[in-house]
Amino acid sequence: MNNRWMLACTISAILAACSQTKDQTGLSSGAQQNSATNYTSSITLLEQHLPDAGEVGIAYKKYQLDNGLTVILHQDKSDPLVHVDVTYHVGSARELAGRSGFAHLFEHMMFQGSQHVADEQHFKLITEAGGTLNGTTNTDRTNYFETVPSNQLEKMLWLEADRMGFLLPALTDEKFELQRETVKNERAQRIDNKPYGRLNERFNQALYPVGHPYSWPVIGWPDDLNRATTEDVKQFFKRWYGPNNATLTIGGDFDEQQALAWVDKYFADIPKGPEVKPQAKTLVTLDKTRYLSMEDKVHLPLIYIAFPTVYAGHPDEAPLDLLANILGGGKTSLFYKNLVKQGHAVQASVNHPCQELACQLSLYALANPSRGGKLSELEQMITQSIAEFEQRGVTDEDLQKVKVQFKASTIFTMQSVAGKVATLASNQTFFGKPDLLADDLARYQQVTKADVMRVFARYIKDKPMTVMSVVPEGARALIAKADNFTPAQAAPAKTAVTLPATLANTVSAEPGLSNHNELTKNTAPRHFDRALVPEAGMAPVMTVPRLWRQTLANGIEVMGTQSLETPTAELLIYLEGGHSLVPVEKAGLAGLTAAMLNESSTLRSTEALAQALELLGSSISFGSSDSQSYIKVSSLTENLKATLEIVEEKLFSPALNSEDFERLKEQQLQSLQHLSSDPSYLASQGFAKLLYGENSSLGVSNTGTLESIKALTLLDVKHFYQTQYSASVVKMVLVADLNKASIIPMLKGFSQWQATPVSQPKMASFPTLASGKIHIIHKPGSAQSVIYIGKRALPYDATGDYFKAYLMNYPLGGAFNSRINLNLREDKGYTYGARSQFSGDNKTGQFLVTASVRADVTGLALIEFIKEIKAYQTEGMTAAEHDFMRSSIAQSQALDYETPYQKAGFVRMIQRYDLAEDFTSKQDEIIKTVSLSELNALAQSLLDLDTMTILIVGDKNQLTEQLKDLGYPIQLMN
């Protein structure tokens, strides 16, 4: 969630819409600390904050219950939704040596039901309510959150309170074992089966001292997970999950008095947990430079270097962030100039990620194998770049651009209630002050050139560092230097936590209120039936964005909507065609042309253009997809006109020079070879080939192939630019806080765009699908297998069978508690997640069922997939599933149009498919009226397994034995 130079906890903000006089206490007038007697004597108002007009900040009220629970309320009436977040101040840093992974494992356990919430009911209730949910764990905190329609708030508070206060009675050995397997699957998918996946956990062992809380991975070491027990989990919960170690934050459209009454009802009698004290923030130092290395299934050698620095909130954090940006923060940085621009590295960057206890200035570069790929040479170039910075110093523009970027990034991330809530919760958890945005902006604005040079001298210049080399298997000759460090292993702690004496010999106390050591003093238990699921309130009124339209003088259609919540603008320019215009033998041309347009113009260099955008806090990105080329523009409204002038310069006056072309072509070739080690990429590309064939652009990746990219020339790029980038195939979408009358004059420059004809080629015929067959792409030693099952299916249709197929598929694989996910993940523990979906555009579509599963159970997982698809096809969904689907999808629309990006997506759908502006009303009517029999008839016609093909990416030596008795012919794919 971090930007590379941004304070970790500052992830969102909002500009206050009004002001209110403040008294000398810093609270709004009349809001000094008092007891909130209107709703309950157990809740005390600690402070309330309302930023002044024009000040960056988030309005909030902060309360505390007698049991220590901190409650933060933020009102945002702009959309009919609420976001609830419960953050516990416990992450992997609270674990003990040799007992890693508990914080993350416990995050999984918190979704497995509690005393009054049945197994899988947590997911079902929120999904049925039209909401989304998740939980995350990092080194320093664990949070659980839901976004739901505003009428569902009480139900969310009931759910969160039940797992905070009543988890242990429902915790069983069976649930524990299942979630341990799920975590192992997550580790296999995200770490063991990914290129460079083990880099960070190996690196942190060398950067931090033995036993340091950051020296082990958040997900845990496999041996530590294996030695965990159910009793360990119970002890971990009792130690860290008390209300006094939690912050409950509610944001969105709700009544404050009612919300506080519900908080009092559900949370007030949860007993206080043991005292939680802050952890020591001792600065990390190294006695000498430590070198370590590892071989991996990768193509590009990688060097990763870090200097230990400070900790989040330290006075030196801000100047270190600016230093990182100058060294390696984009196309104006020294790393880009010396490593990437010169072709020695495919990628290179410098960051300063900060955590509660420690930060690091981290530098990395991916070596270009065509230049030899020796990491010792890259290390030397990195060292020279650091020395060059010392000689170069800091310029006025360095400071200006980073400060502008920081402000812009803060404003851009304020566009959702979830972002604002996360900011409030994080700042409260780590600093005790929910809104730090103005303070953060001030400390960045106050950084001087001398500050940057001072922190450089103190933490970086001539200081020991940790250097890690990751090289392809068998290529140890490429490492930067021989290893001189072997991590020591701390003896595993005998218990998962160190418990206070009052808890050391107890697992449960009073039934029901059994998770902590005693009832909260002076709090009478609430007498109500916690097993009753709260009723939802009146459904909120859904409103879709109001649209405006304009046609420019050259025929370009512009559609937009006004969004007043943030002073930002999002412009999307789409050109029909993209990859589909390109012959198969030139695959990748659309993407390479877009990349060239991200580079220099005839007026300015790449670096000069990047500098101009950074000084505006804006971004411009050219790209392509299977059916479109596009330009994405983000800008502060105050800088929109200047940003659009740069768009016009890049679009109408591209340099398209040979230097940029050769560099980008080489980077693309190396990227393709890197992707060949990613099993998910292999599965995606292999499946497209099976569905659409080698003669169709849909069967070959938009990124191209090694053969097609090698054959491309600069003349190809210039020709594609001349034929594709025409106003005749352009449409625009714009979402901003400005009205139509203010925006249209700024688009005048695009009226000069020539509207030359663009020939849309006829789509190639597709091959006969090789159904009833298993195709294997061999990936030796793969920890997991990626399974794809599917076929060509319906093209997009907003209100026809395509939309109904989406409804039909929902109980099968479209939600977390769908049949295939509950079976393969929750019941069998084969995977971290399994899903199915229909996708399509105006030309074609497909149906896909997919999961990454443990290599040793690939055959068993495939059997379960087949069983579920066949059963659903023949028997269809049940009446209960039908009701669940209708409720979930209908209510979820309250979440659909919150952010400018979501609004732009809605506008684009109408524009691209020529939909009526009220098409969502027609969809609502279909959801309400479509019958169970109609959906089941659709399942019977669309889900015939005999018309589908199967692709598995994994180790063929393991797979052949597992699959031989399934009755499917097996074919090896290249």
| CA–CA separation, 151 and 130 (whole Å) | 11
What band does 522 get if pLDDT is binned at 50, 70 and 90? Answer: very low
| CA–CA separation, 492 and 555 (whole Å) | 70
- Which of 9-18, 25-34, 904-913 is predicted with the least confidence, judged by mean pLDDT? 9-18
**Buried b or exposed e, range 725-755, using 16+ CB within 10 angstroms:** bbbebbbbbbbbebebeebbebbebbeebee
Q: Tell me whether the CATH fold assigned to 34-100+108-267 matches the one assigned to 774-973.
A: yes
Phi, psi dihedral angles at 344 (to 5 degrees): -75, -30
Structure confidence by residue, pLDDT tens digits, 632-646: 999 999 999 999 999
Partners of 249 in the β-ladder: 72, 85
Fold annotation for 34-100+108-267: Cytochrome Bc1 Complex; Chain A, domain 1 (3.30.830)
Give residue 437's identity as a one-letter amino acid code: L
Whether 233 and 112 have beta carbons less than 8 Å apart is answered as: no
Please tell me the predicted confidence (pLDDT) of residue 523: 43
Please tell me the predicted confidence (pLDDT) of residue 479: 97
The owner of tokens 């068998």 is 474
Q: What does the mean pLDDT of the chain come to?
A: 90
Give residue 839's identity as a one-letter amino acid code: S
Please tell me the predicted confidence (pLDDT) of residue 8: 27
| CA–CA separation, 382 and 674 (whole Å) | 22
Interhelix angle 437-445/396-412, nearest 10 degrees: 170
CA-nearest of 452, 344, 336 to 393 is: 452
Helix (H, G, I), strand (E, B) or coil at 396: helix
Task: Judge whether residue 21 has pLDDT over 70.
Answer: no
| CA–CA separation, 572 and 556 (whole Å) | 13
CA distances in angstroms from 820 to 813, 815, 845, 851, listed in the order given: 6, 9, 21, 10
Please tell me the predicted confidence (pLDDT) of residue 28: 29
Percent with pLDDT over 70 in the chain: 93
Please tell me the predicted confidence (pLDDT) of residue 52: 86
Task: Judge whether residue 323 has pLDDT over 70.
Answer: yes
Q: Tell me the mean pLDDT in the region 536-558.
A: 91
Please tell me the predicted confidence (pLDDT) of residue 502: 56
CATH 3.90.1170.20 fits 547-752, yes or no: no
Task: Judge whether residue 526 has pLDDT over 80.
Answer: no
| CA–CA separation, 147 and 83 (whole Å) | 4
CA-nearest of 498, 529, 907, 916 to 736 is: 907
CATH 3.30.2350.10 fits 774-973, yes or no: no
| CA–CA separation, 233 and 496 (whole Å) | 8
CA-nearest of 876, 238, 861, 205 to 509 is: 238
Residues in Cβ contact with 583 at an 8 Å cutoff, skipping those fewer than 6 apart: none
Give residue 541's identity as a one-letter amino acid code: V
Task: Judge whether residue 784 has pLDDT over 70.
Answer: yes
Structure confidence by residue, pLDDT tens digits, 698-741: 999 999 999 999 999 999 999 999 999 999 999 999 999 999 99
Task: Judge whether residue 186 has pLDDT over 60.
Answer: yes
CA-nearest of 787, 924, 781, 796 to 866 is: 787
The owner of tokens 């990914």 is 194
| CA–CA separation, 225 and 105 (whole Å) | 9
| CA–CA separation, 86 and 71 (whole Å) | 9
What band does 512 get if pLDDT is binned at 50, 70 and 90? Answer: very low
Question: Which of the two residues, 760 and 345, has the higher pLDDT score?
Answer: 345
Domain-wise residue ranges, the chain:
34-100+108-267, 547-752, 774-973
What band does 305 get if pLDDT is binned at 50, 70 and 90? Answer: very high
What band does 22 get if pLDDT is binned at 50, 70 and 90? Answer: very low
| CA–CA separation, 580 and 336 (whole Å) | 32
Whether 374 and 382 have beta carbons less than 8 Å apart is answered as: no
- Specify the DSSP class assigned to residue 814: I
Please tell me the predicted confidence (pLDDT) of residue 789: 98
Residues in Cβ contact with 380 at an 8 Å cutoff, skipping those fewer than 6 apart: none
Please tell me the predicted confidence (pLDDT) of residue 411: 87
What's the alpha-carbon Rg for the chain, to the nearest Å? 28
Q: Could you give the strand order of the β-sheet that contains 547-551, starting from the edge strand earlier in sequence?
A: 547-551, 557-562, 730-736, 568-576, 628-636, 619-624
Q: Tell me the mean pLDDT in the region 83-89.
A: 98
Which pTM does this prediction carry? 0.90
CA-nearest of 928, 935, 121, 75 to 539 is: 928
The owner of tokens 């940790």 is 466
Residues in Cβ contact with 865 at an 8 Å cutoff, skipping those fewer than 6 apart: 787, 789, 820, 824, 834, 849, 851
The token pair that represents 610 in the structure block: 């990047």
| CA–CA separation, 841 and 830 (whole Å) | 32
What band does 503 get if pLDDT is binned at 50, 70 and 90? Answer: low
N-term to C-term CA, the chain: 37
The owner of tokens 């399509």 is 840
CA-nearest of 682, 947, 737 to 78 is: 737
The owner of tokens 């400390």 is 443
Whether 825 and 852 have beta carbons less than 8 Å apart is answered as: no
Task: Judge whether residue 301 has pLDDT over 80.
Answer: yes
With vertex at residue 929, the alpha carbon angle to CA 927 and CA 930, rounded to the nearest 5 degrees, is 75
Structure confidence by residue, pLDDT tens digits, 917-972: 989 999 999 999 999 999 999 999 999 999 999 999 999 999 998 998 898 999 99
Residues in Cβ contact with 745 at an 8 Å cutoff, skipping those fewer than 6 apart: none
**Residue 134 CB coordination number (10 Å):** 12
- Strands 970-973, 774-778: parallel, antiparallel or unpaired by DSSP? parallel
- Strands 290-296, 60-65: parallel, antiparallel or unpaired by DSSP? unpaired
Whether 959 and 952 have beta carbons less than 8 Å apart is answered as: yes
Partners of 348 in the β-ladder: 365
Q: Tell me the mean pLDDT in the region 371-398.
A: 95
What band does 491 get if pLDDT is binned at 50, 70 and 90? Answer: confident
* DSSP-derived secondary structure for 553-600: TTS-EEEEEE--SSSEEEEEEEEE-GGGGS-GGGTTHHHHHHHHHTS-
Structure confidence by residue, pLDDT tens digits, 101-157: 989 998 998 998 999 999 889 999 999 999 999 999 999 999 999 999 999 999 999
